[in-house]
Structure 1
Amino acid sequence: MTRSLLPFLVLALTAGCASQQLAGADLDRVRRPAFISRIEDGAGPKSLVFRDDSAYGDKLKKLEPVEADRRLTVKLQQAVTRFEISERLRVNTLTQLPREAPWTQAVDPARVASVLESFLVEEVPANAPDYDLVTPLGADAIVEFVVQDFGMRSKGGRAGAYLRGYGRMFTLDGRSEVWRRPFEVDQVAAGDAHLDPFKVGKNPELFRQAISSMLDQVAAVFVKDLTPRDRRGGPPLPDLPTTAAPDTVPGSAGQPPPEAPPEKDLPAGELPDPDPE
């Protein structure tokens, strides 16, 4: 049985030395937040499978590990776009927040993207935006999610997906940071089921599902962080669910993996098939 990633995820999220808890008093002062989700230029997807793990030497035959990683990287790029990753994290966080101020007064994300001219074209590097451009929209705070590194890696012949980044919230008046949460999710470190890179090469959807599941778990923790229980000294808020809501971005992480296509001769440039068990 596959072990859940959630215990390791929570450990990684809460152990970050740069974390800052959101206080209810700070959230009470926010009137109109704007949400931004982005992926740093050069963050990925990356394949660190073959060059960092010699266990695949026999299966690669004459193919150099660096070249095998390059080919797998191409497959990972086909699995999910940078835009889909950033949007999934933003949407699944925002839609699970309580229907109360300030979240119900958040700036329309389409207007935010329009003024920043961001994330609308895949080829444009998602560098840090000019946050001052959001002020005319009435925003007084920014909630930002940043993916810094993602892809696949392997150790001891066991491969998996990984995802690293942070979330933060800061006011536009003085740029005071009131919340920060780094995250690092790693299937290999968590001891999760082996994500066979050769199968991913044939069926990139397997990588998409792994990353989608990670993003949903990160979003669930972000929701808890952004719902402090000490607002205005009122009654305690109800406990939040520990799992993400149904997918709101194409590509469900909760669906069973699709069957791999029938075995056939692959065109030049594909990863070699794994040796029979």
Structure 2
Amino acid sequence: MVRNSFLVVVALLAAGCASQRLAGADLDRVARPAFISRIELDAGPRSLVFREDAAYKDKLKKLEPKEADRRLQAKLTAAVTRFEVSERLRVNTFRQLPPERPWVNTLNPARVATILESFLVEEVPANAPDYDLLSRLGADTVVEFVIQDYGMRSDGGRAGAYIRGYARMFKLNGRTELWRHPFQVDRVAEGGEHLDPFKVGKEPMLFRQQITEMLDVLAERFAQDLTPKDRKPGGALPAGSELEGSDSVNPAARERPAPPKPADPELAPGELPDPDA
């Protein structure tokens, strides 16, 4: 129930932005898609908790709000890397797509990352890749996820994670957009459960849990968008089939995100003050 209501919130928050639905006829014209996920340079993670909410002033004691945010931001960075955030959105969207054309013809992500020089890197390239390079691999379409801002914020003493960006599908030849879905998910604005910043300072995994939940819900929504209901039948393949001689990735294989990174049990120097001390 909570997950479904959260999904509705995603739809409502994105509704006010310029979006474009994917038509079944447009998807039929896609032959060889490539999936890309990236995070912009200054996207985060950010901590906007203490500078934008005076409710924590007494708890900070002598610590300046700017410094408190800097320390909390360091914990957010350690909790989940930019690469993990980016890849989780791509992988979890792709693995929920049906095993039919054009998804069974999707370019292998390792080859895509290699040609774009982003393979197994910790920091996702900030600038938009040179997508024309993908035409060398036979791609005709790009499905792109871009995170523009994410982190933690607070209002009236209630804090939570947030994430903003957009997803789109476009043709390499002419850059014609077939689908666009801006998103802005904010646990504070939706009235979600309070994510205590002082507890996050001691247990950064709390932030990781909330942000990954948000990414998973977004991925579910994007998979629905990329499976238009007005598409004519005929693109499905027999269960377990693969395209012989290709390097495609079959969604039936259920590509999975990297396992969670264990949290460091020891807090780094410069932790936030304990409000209960």
TM-score tier (shorter): 0.7 to 0.9
CA shift at 1:275, angstroms?
A: 2.8
CA shift at 1:123, angstroms?
A: 4.4
Matched, 1:84 2:93: no
Amino acid paired to 1:114: T
List gaps (5 residues or longer) in structure 2.
236-253
| 9 and 124 in structure 1: CA distance in 2 versus 1, 3 angstrom threshold | closer
Equivalent residue number for residue 148 of structure 1:
148
CA shift at 1:229, angstroms?
A: 1.3
Q: Distance in 1 between matches of 2:124 and 2:274?
A: 35
Equivalent residue number for residue 270 of structure 1:
271
Amino acid paired to 1:270: E
Q: Would you say the 8 A contact 1:164–1:185 is kept in 2?
A: yes
| 246 and 189 in structure 1: CA distance in 2 versus 1, 3 angstrom threshold | farther
Structure 1 residue matching 2:31: 3-state secondary structure: coil
| 108 and 233 in structure 1: CA distance in 2 versus 1, 3 angstrom threshold | closer
Deviations 1:104-156 (Å, cap 9, x if unpaired)?
Answer: 10000000000000253334642100000000101000000000000000000
Q: Distance in 1 between matches of 2:185 and 2:109?
A: 26
Matched, 1:250 2:252: no
Structure 1 residue matching 2:232: 3-state secondary structure: helix
Q: Would you say the 8 A contact 1:212–1:251 is kept in 2?
A: no
Q: Would you say the 8 A contact 2:93–2:220 is kept in 1?
A: yes
CA shift at 1:71, angstroms?
A: 0.3
CA shift at 1:233, angstroms?
A: 6.7
Structure 2 residue matching 1:92: 3-state secondary structure: helix
Q: Would you say the 8 A contact 1:50–1:65 is kept in 2?
A: yes
Equivalent residue number for residue 31 of structure 2:
31
TM-score, normalised to structure 1, is: 0.86
Q: Distance in 1 between matches of 2:82 and 2:95?
A: 20
List gaps (5 residues or longer) in structure 1.
236-244, 253-257
Count of aligned residue pairs for this structure pair: 257
Q: Distance in 1 between matches of 2:94 and 2:27?
A: 15
CA shift at 1:267, angstroms?
A: 6.9
Deviations 1:45-83 (Å, cap 9, x if unpaired)?
Answer: 000000000000111000000000000000000000011
Matched, 1:73 2:73: yes
CA shift at 1:232, angstroms?
A: 3.1
Amino acid paired to 2:111: R
Q: Would you say the 8 A contact 1:93–1:223 is kept in 2?
A: yes
Amino acid paired to 2:210: A
Amino acid paired to 2:35: F
Amino acid paired to 2:180: R
Q: Would you say the 8 A contact 2:7–2:221 is kept in 1?
A: no
CA shift at 1:193, angstroms?
A: 0.7
Equivalent residue number for residue 134 of structure 1:
134
Q: Distance in 2 between matches of 1:85 and 1:139?
A: 25
